[in-house]
Amino acid sequence: MLRRLYGTEAISNLTNLINHKLNLKLIGRDVEFILVQNVKKQNANVFDKEISKLNTKSSKNIAKTLIKLMPETNFEDEEDYSNIFKQLCEYLDMKNIGYNVEELKQAIISQYGENNALQFEKELNGELMEDLIIKNSEIEKILPQIKKIVIKFTQRYFTYEQKEEHITDLKILINKKLDSKYSDEDVWQILRFIEKENNIELFDKEISKLKNKSPDSIAKTLIKLSPETNFEDEEDYQFLLEHLEECLDRKNIGYNIEELKQELLSEYQSLKATNFEEKLSRDLDKRITVEEIEHLDGFQFESLLGELFRKAGYKVNVTKKSGDQGADLIVEKNGVSTAIQAKKYAGSVGNTAVQEVVAAMKYYDCDKSMVITTGKFTKGAFELAGRNGVQLIDKKGLDDLFDFIL
């Protein structure tokens, strides 16, 4: 391996030099062995220094570290990285760090491909980046003079549309303060730079307070810090997620991006439901009609029904948003429990909802089952419900339910 790396002549010259200096009679293979052991020792030290920094020693994080340490290695060619991979595995074994060989290899190939793609994108955009009207280095110089102004601007104008409407005003203010001639494009670049640094600083401060840096805790923190963001629309929070990722990478906090996105969606929908439930609690004395709930989403409709049944004296349990086994609510009164599936539909609800709530009734060990919709039911749904004792409440029945409870 070393002969291929350094060349036979280089090994021979090094052997002669060592023999001359130390008055020895080593042969080329002896020197190769010494070099191999030395490289192994150096690599082990480097691995120990870098991998020990990782909070989460996952295959992905270890792969990232290895690629960062060996920038000249072609990790698409197993022969090219086989020796360094073997040394890495020996180090992980020595430190009792659990790993799966095939999973680690796959993580290395995947990360290497991702790095190459990013590098290629940078090269494609290189000319554009070189021609940026204002460089980040220049922004850093003027930052102390304009940071407060820009942060106030972002706090007042949160959405892209609001910023776009007032970007020229911000440009005029900055140019006046700095006696400069920046363009709208310059100011957008300044805005993005300061927003990013400010967000990362804010995320770092809040995430550092978390004892448990789990995906759900991080998601709750991001949502708390960005109350105006719609986390059901990935485009609306993409830039925040990028800033969060950079913050987590800087702090060496391991994460799975898809899991994080799922937690953001789940936490956001849960918060929406809670907020809506609180609003209902404040307005319960007001007469509610079916027409007034047509603008609600599914989770808000479930929350509304939960509050209505509570008002009617039921004990209400809201099931998990995912994996609910076919029931959205479990209500209980006078020792009789009912599994309820809520369907916020404008059209017709068919057999599937009936089948699911029957299964849910058995799963949750309930006495009764019910499907409530803002739409109507198909003939097949009524027939199946009749055979299984499922109570169906459609749009007209829902209005009657409101009359009864309120």
The 10s digit of each residue's pLDDT in 173-203 is 999 999 988 888 888 888 888 888 888 888 8
- Across 50-71, average pLDDT: 80
Assess whether 160 and 182 both reside in one domain: yes
The predicted pLDDT at position 66 comes to: 82
Same domain, 154 and 119: no
Mean per-residue pLDDT, 103-117: 84
pLDDT at position 283 is 55
pLDDT, average across residues 23-40: 70
Mean pLDDT of 51-56: 73
In terms of pLDDT, which residue wins out, 404 or 164?
Answer: 164
How many independent structural domains does the chain possess?
Answer: 3
Rounded Cα–Cα distance for residues 277 and 300 (Å): 8
Do 210 and 237 reside in the same domain of the chain? Answer: yes
Contact 85, 77 (CB under 8 A): no
Q: Is residue 273 part of a domain?
A: no
For the cut 70, the answer to whether the pLDDT of residue 2 exceeds it is no
Q: Is residue 107 part of a domain?
A: yes
Say yes or no: 100 and 175 in one domain. no
Q: How does the average pLDDT of the chain come out, rounded?
A: 80
* 112 shares its domain with 229: no
**Shared domain check, 178 and 65:** no
What pLDDT does 176 receive? 92
**Pick from 100, 124, 148: which residue ends a domain?**
124
Query: 318 CB contacts (<8 Å, ≥6 apart)?
Result: 273, 302, 303, 306, 328, 329
Q: Is the pLDDT of residue 156 over 70?
A: yes
Whether residue 4 is predicted with pLDDT greater than 60 in this model: the reply is no
* Together in a domain, 260 and 300: no
Strand partners, 348: 376
- Which residue range is the domain that position 185 belongs to? 136-267
Q: Is residue 348 part of a domain?
A: yes
- Residues 28 and 117 occupy one common structural domain: yes
pTM: 0.38
Q: What percent of the chain has pLDDT over 70?
A: 83
- Mean pLDDT for the stretch of residues 231-244: 80
5 pLDDT band (50/70/90 cuts)?
very low
Q: Of the candidates 78, 101, 124, which is a domain's last residue?
A: 124
Secondary structure percentages of the chain, helix, strand, coil, to 5: 65, 10, 25
What Cα–Cα distance (Å) separates residue 330 from each residue in 361, 368, 370? 9, 10, 10
pLDDT of residue 6: 46
Confidence class of residue 40 from pLDDT cuts 50, 70 and 90? low
Based on the fold, state whether residues 255 and 161 are members of the same structural domain.
yes
Q: Using alpha carbons only, give the angle 279, 281, 285 rounded to the nearest 5 degrees.
A: 110
- Using a pLDDT cut of 90, give the percent of the chain over it: 12
